[in-house]
Amino acid sequence: MERPNAWKNYQSVELEKVESLAKEYRAFLDHGKTERECVNQTVKKLEKAGFVSLEKAIADERKLHAGDRVYLNKMGKAVLAFIIGKQPLEKGMNIVGAHIDSPRLDLKQNPLYEDSDFALADTHYYGGIKKYQWVARELALHGVVARKDGSLVTLCIGEQEDDPVVGVTDLLIHLSQEQMAKKLSESITGENLDITLAGKPLAGEEKEPVKAALLRILKDEYGIEEEDLLSAEIEAVPAGKARDFGLDRSMIMGYGHDDRVCAFAELAAMLDISDVPEYTCCGMLVDKEEIGSVGATGMQSNYLENAVAEILNLMGDYSELKVRRALRSSRMLSCDVSAGYDPLYSSAFEKKNAAYLGRGVCYNKFTGRGGKSGSNDANAEFIGKLRKIMDDNQVCWQTAELGRVDLGGGGTIAYICALYGMEVIDSGVAVLNMHAPMEIISKADLYEAKKAYRAFMENA
């Protein structure tokens, strides 16, 4: 029952493909550290491949037919892409869905203050983080500031070689006796994850001169007033590029593999489909998974349902019943990362049912916690069908669950899509250091995930 290591099967041609996909992926990570940046890149790639904006198609009252490609940009933070298939939409779609938000430190709405000749920014962390991992390291600021006049300023500070970086300080070891005696979860508090932004006073300024100097920089370089920060989304993320990891360069270390590795594999698979597929293919890159898939851009919002209704309408085939049938009859891979087996923490896993780096794309029948609580438990019949599709298409794959029973848990978007009554299973890439500022994946698993997602879209 042990699954083979994918690397053993690669000949030189395939090794080159693994490497070139990895290179493309590293670039995707480097230019996509926020959901907005991922959407921008994705829309560019989709448009280049002939996908047309669904909103534009609606405005033009354009008729849609088999083979047509459309995408929906949801508020710049989520994307749905469709390739219309030969079969009627009510026969269901082959859907792959991943999320593009990652854990980080968000600036508060009123973030700036001065203390002891430093200007600092207050943050509120986003997603599940081990707080001690986010101090004493270089951070970059990415985001947008919306001015009252409707204009939007885009920020990206800390990624160019000569850019400054910012960060959260930590207490020196020499004075850390009390901090070190605390529980790991309490040694760094959320309210103390404040980012140091500046340390030079403005000449001639009496009141908060360092903050005044910082505001001068924001004004001069970006045209931002302090009040504009009230309507901003500024995310502090690990600065720097993704890198090859390991002396054999078999892995990639970078920020946000969860879940951009699946999002990228999905997108790359979709862009490779040139024939008209049997069933309509849908690729989803969604937001807010890390905080419960909430909000207008999270999976719990109904933009998938609305997009399907609009597409049916443009095909001249709309009815409420057909929308329901299209969703109910669909098959879906909820593409999200798995916990990679880590030999340093072996007791957290059950070895027969763990995801191993290098053993290919991973299928999780269920996630959740305790007695599978909160999980989507995929149907055996659906998994049987998947096994055939994967094997027929020479995909290297494995099955896993998150970790040892009763140790913890987690969820994905799977259970939300399952509410429509479609077949759903979790499928993704194994990750080490999940949710740490720098996560690790195997290049082989990225390559196999892309193969798997394409095989699924064309054959499910």
- Choices 53-61, 237-245, 258-266, 351-359 (CB under 5 A): range interacting with Mn ion: 258-266
Nearer to Mn ion, 67 or 292 (CB): 292
Asked if 259 is part of the footprint of Mn ion (rule: CB under 5 A), the reply reads yes
Nearer to Mn ion, 100 or 141 (CB): 100
- Choices 6-14, 212-220, 257-265, 364-372 (CB under 5 A): range interacting with Mn ion: 257-265
Cα distance between residue 80 and residue 263, in whole Å:
11
Asked if 114 is part of the footprint of Mn ion (rule: CB under 5 A), the reply reads no
Asked if 90 is part of the footprint of Mn ion (rule: CB under 5 A), the reply reads no
Cα distance between residue 431 and residue 304, in whole Å:
28
Site string for Mn ion, 45-64 (x = CB under 5 A): --------------------
Asked if 336 is part of the footprint of Mn ion (rule: CB under 5 A), the reply reads yes
Cα distance between residue 95 and residue 60, in whole Å:
26
* Nearest residue to 328 (alpha-carbon basis) of 455, 423, 459: 423
Cβ atoms of 430 and 6 within 8 Å: the answer is no
Phi, psi of 73 (to 5 degrees): -100, 110
Instruction: Tell me which residue has tokens 């009390």.
Output: 178
DSSP-derived secondary structure letter, 119:
E
Identity at 21, one-letter amino acid code: L
Structure tokens at 188: 């760094």
Phi, psi of 20 (to 5 degrees): -70, -35
Asked if 287 is part of the footprint of Mn ion (rule: CB under 5 A), the reply reads no
Least CB distance to Mn ion at residue 357 (A): 17
Nearer to Mn ion, 92 or 97 (CB): 97
CB atoms near residue 393 (< 10 Å): 14
Cα distance between residue 239 and residue 137, in whole Å:
9
Q: Which helix (H) or strand (E) holds 334?
A: strand 331-335
Asked if 266 is part of the footprint of Mn ion (rule: CB under 5 A), the reply reads no
**459 Cβ contact list (under 8 Å, min separation 6):** 389, 392, 393
- Choices 5-13, 152-160, 329-337, 344-352 (CB under 5 A): range interacting with Mn ion: 329-337
Nearer to Mn ion, 194 or 336 (CB): 336
Asked if 68 is part of the footprint of Mn ion (rule: CB under 5 A), the reply reads no
* Residue of the chain from 68, 258, 287, 439 that contacts Mn ion (CB under 5 A): 258
Nearer to Mn ion, 88 or 409 (CB): 409
Size of the site for Mn ion (CB under 5 A): 3
Phi, psi of 372 (to 5 degrees): 60, 20
Select the residue whose beta carbon is closest to Mn ion and give its number: 259
Least CB distance to Mn ion at residue 80 (A): 18
Cα distance between residue 75 and residue 320, in whole Å:
25
Least CB distance to Mn ion at residue 335 (A): 9
Site string for Mn ion, 7-46 (x = CB under 5 A): ----------------------------------------
Cα distance between residue 122 and residue 120, in whole Å:
7
- Choices 136-144, 198-206, 256-264, 372-380 (CB under 5 A): range interacting with Mn ion: 256-264
Structure tokens at 321: 């019943």
Least CB distance to Mn ion at residue 410 (A): 7
Least CB distance to Mn ion at residue 428 (A): 8
Question: What DSSP assignment string belongs to 71-85?
Answer: EEEETTTEEEEEE--
- Choices 2-10, 335-343, 368-376, 394-402 (CB under 5 A): range interacting with Mn ion: 335-343
Site residues for Mn ion per CB under 5 A:
258-259, 336
